[in-house]
Amino acid sequence: MIDFTLFFQEQQRLIESIPYRYRRYLYEQIEWNERCLLITRQRGVGKTTMILQHLKEHYRDDTSALYISVDNPYFKNISLYEFAMEFEKFGGEVLYIDEIHKYHEWATHIKSLYDSSRLKLIISGSSMIQINKQQADLSRRVVSYRLANLSFREYLLFKNIAVFEACTFDEILSDHVAIASRIIGRIKPLAHFKTYLTEGCYPFMIEHEKSYTYHLIGIINQILEVDMPYATHIRYAQIDKIKKLIYLLSTSVPVKPNISKLAASVDVSRPTLVEYLHYLELGSLINTVNQKARGYGVLSKPDKLLMYNTNLMHAISHNADKGTRREAFFVNQIKSAAYNIPRLIDERILLAPEGD
């Protein structure tokens, strides 16, 4: 028999300390009543905080809901499936499962729980490289959401500078003069935008302001040194070459990449480089952009390679090109805005055949 007392005590400690004043944009978009939810994306964007905020709001003193993090050593010795089924026997109805990517064969356990219990499952995971390998098995059972880094609007909110309503891309195109007038009537955006580009994309900027870059480098190293070797056949000895690749992308000017030359510069084959780029995009370290294409053209190499956001660029090198930073910011925002709109082929943003 499992004693859940310690888990509820830890849960109470967490929800008492969790900030509740501001919530990420995705909180209001999630259909929380779904039977099984999976919230993913890069480390540090606020997934754990968000699910704990939901727990605090709806089940604060209710023992029918429980939060667990499966990176707890306890789960090295007990089956997640058995733990959850035992929780249901004792009146459990909602199970929040964090750090799911750290549990071996997690998709098998979630699938079995979905089929064998009536538990509502709210799951969070950071390593998209690991999650992507198993997520397809749950496509009919799980509703997935991806949480992007902070937008400039959210940065202003979290820093207590100003509160603005979100605007759609169509609204910006059709009414940009009025929107800009409302903003500059309240703040001087450029006075804050520079800081946002260097240290404003992640919520931990608030509690780790002085060590922000240190934490960003830690996220990069975790993805490269832990996630990639664990979830792929990439040997640890190759990680230094991938780090060199990221440095080159952080400091390059915004031109169409020559994949063969880029592969030679990091001493790997062209197919290997393309594979590395795929995993780096899964890990939310880079964004790729293609030109509009038809037929087999959609399978071609990327026409633009950019770091996932400008904060990562700045953490790696303070000499990032201004034009590259501008493009990285734009691509990041456009792709993030459409993260949770399902598509077979990603055509949210495409390069024009000519011009910028």
pLDDT of residue 256: 80
Query: pLDDT digits over 253-281, tens only?
Result: 877 888 999 999 999 999 999 999 999 99
Q: What is the pLDDT of residue 146?
A: 94
Alpha carbon of residue 341 to chain centroid: 15
Residue 27 sits at φ, ψ, to 5 deg, of -55, -45
Query: 8: which 2 tokens?
Result: 């509820």
CATH number, domain 208-351, options 1.10.287, 1.25.40, 3.40.50, 1.10.10? 1.10.10
Delimiting residues of CATH 1.10.10 domain(s) in the chain: 208-351
Q: For residue 164, what pLDDT is reported?
A: 95
Contacts of 56 (CB under 8 A, 6+ apart): 15, 18, 20
Strands 143-146 and 286-291: unpaired
- Of the CA atoms within 13 Å of residue 35, those in its CB half-sphere come to 13
How high is the pLDDT of residue 128? 72
Helix (H, G, I), strand (E, B) or coil at 65: strand
Residue-level pLDDT at 139: 73
- In this predicted structure, what is the pLDDT of residue 343? 62
pLDDT for the residue 300: 56
- What class has domain 5-146? alpha beta
pLDDT at 331: 94
Query: What is the per-residue pLDDT for 252?
Result: 85
pTM attached to this predicted model: 0.89
Per the prediction, the chain carries an average pLDDT of 89
pLDDT tens readout for residues 65-83: 999 999 999 999 999 999 9
| pLDDT beneath 70: ranges in the chain | 133-137, 292-300, 342-356
Provide the phi-psi class of 46: left if phi over 0, else alpha when psi is between -120 and 50, else beta: left
Residue 304 φ/ψ region, left for φ over 0, alpha for ψ in the -120 to 50 degree band, beta for the rest = beta
Q: What residue spans in the chain does CATH classification 3.40.50.300 cover?
A: 5-146
